[in-house]
Amino acid sequence: MNLQQASSLLAALEANGNALGQLVRDTDGLVFLRVILPRASSDRNCAPSEYSMNVLKACQKLRNVDLCFSTQNEIMDQLQALALMPLRPSNRGSLRTTSTIRNIFFWRDPSSLSVPAVGFAVIFEALGQSPMDTLDGLCFKRVQWRHTEGLDPAAPAFPLPVTSLHLLDAVTSGGSILPFFPRQPSTLQYLSILGYLGVANLDLVALSHVVGNDLRDLQIVYPGTSGTISLSAYATAHEALRLPPSAFQNYPLLTSLDLFKTHGPCLALLETLVKSSPVLADISFGYSRWVCSYHLLSNSPDEIFPEQEIIAELKKFHHLSFIHLGLLPTTDELKYEGMKAELEKSSINVVYQICEEEAD
């Protein structure tokens, strides 16, 4: 879309008292439109930040909102455009319509990565006084927000109840992701954490204490390096996210668990999940390496992956229909086919990967 087309789109949304804009429910694509708009334009209304605010002002019945920003003032202006800012003292007696917004996506402007991180405390305070009571979905994409001095960096700070939370390379200046979580965890059912930022040093035990007990779907994706690995390096290669079994004791309603490129699936973890998450139906350890439960430094394939014990433990799940076992300690394509066949007799679909052959 060029500048003329962008101007025409905005004019159409604003025409006849925002008649067309009132029909818009989703701002999907607005972030990318900001990127292609010229940074310097003779038409101030088509400068990226001004354009975004004008679109938001014209679309007052949105359900899904993308907020792309580079400064605190810019995002506060967008909240003002959406009528989400707290009422001024002079308007306290005014009736306020409950917001139609159900999902908010925060984006860091990709063209302003060199701009200092934005403090989130003021933004969260404003949202806490907005006409929104709860959110279905909350997403932070590539945001790096400054943590306000004096606030606990391990304490959840988002002021509204949230059903679904997605973090993609999102982290605060203190290196923690926990401030992005809702202060009231009881409604959180879906959580995904993706990317190196926020995952590399993630404390899964601390995470389990702020998520709440209603979580149904947990996805953690650590990009790491290449997926395959040689058998000789299986136990000692580059560090990845560890999986202490104690971090998975608080998810009684969990039905789907996806832990990608981790280093820590083990028999003890399965034992914990059988007891603590009995309704699990889908487990994925894609490109993850197993460890020995009782000897974390072991490089013995049979200790790392005790096949018969793992089969027995997986059969204890009453609802499990699929498991991706991840990267198993073998280069033999047939070594675990017997295990796969046995589990499939119990209606458990099994997928796994094997190590690459040693280089000559």
Beta carbons of 33 and 51 less than 8 angstroms apart: yes
Confidence of residue 95 (pLDDT cuts 50, 70, 90): very low
- Between the CA of residue 227 and those of 196, 202, 220, what are the distances in Å? 15, 20, 15
CB atoms within 10 A of CB 254: 24
Does 295 score more than 70 pLDDT?
Answer: yes
Does 53 score more than 70 pLDDT?
Answer: yes
Q: What residues contact 71, with CB distance under 8 A and at least 6 apart? A: 112, 115, 118
What string of DSSP letters covers 3-37?
HHHHHHHHHHHHHHHHTTGGG--B-TTHHHHHHHS
Higher-pLDDT residue of 107 and 49 is: 107
- Tell me the pLDDT of the chain averaged across its residues: 86
The region of weakest confidence among 62-71, 161-170, 202-211, 343-352 is 62-71
Angle 175-179-180 from CA coordinates, rounded to 5°: 105
Does 337 score more than 80 pLDDT?
Answer: yes
Report the predicted TM-score, pTM, of the whole model to 2 decimal places. 0.89
Quick one: three-class SS letters along 128-192? HCCCCCCEEEEEEECCEEECCCCCCCCCCCECCCEEEEEEECCEECCCCCHHHCECCHHHCCEEE
Beta carbons of 285 and 312 less than 8 angstroms apart: no
Q: Which pLDDT belongs to residue 93?
A: 47
Q: Which pLDDT belongs to residue 69?
A: 83
Give the start-to-end residue ranges of the domains of the chain. Answer: 1-59, 63-87+99-222, 224-360
Fill in the DSSP letter of residue 104.
E
Beta carbons of 16 and 27 less than 8 angstroms apart: no
Q: Which of 119-123, 222-226, 303-307 has the highest mean pLDDT?
A: 303-307
User: Which amino acid is residue 164, in one-letter code?
Assistant: S
Angle 178-164-72 from CA coordinates, rounded to 5°: 55
Beta carbons of 227 and 260 less than 8 angstroms apart: no
Question: What kind of fold does domain 224-360 have according to CATH?
Answer: 3.80.10
Beta carbons of 118 and 75 less than 8 angstroms apart: yes
User: Which amino acid is residue 231, in one-letter code?
Assistant: L
The region of weakest confidence among 72-76, 119-123, 224-228 is 224-228
CA pair distance 321, 344, nearest whole angstrom: 9
User: Which amino acid is residue 7, in one-letter code?
Assistant: S
- 175-231 pLDDT, tens digit each: 789 989 999 877 899 999 998 877 878 889 999 999 989 999 999 998 866 667 889
Beta carbons of 69 and 103 less than 8 angstroms apart: no
CA pair distance 148, 170, nearest whole angstrom: 16
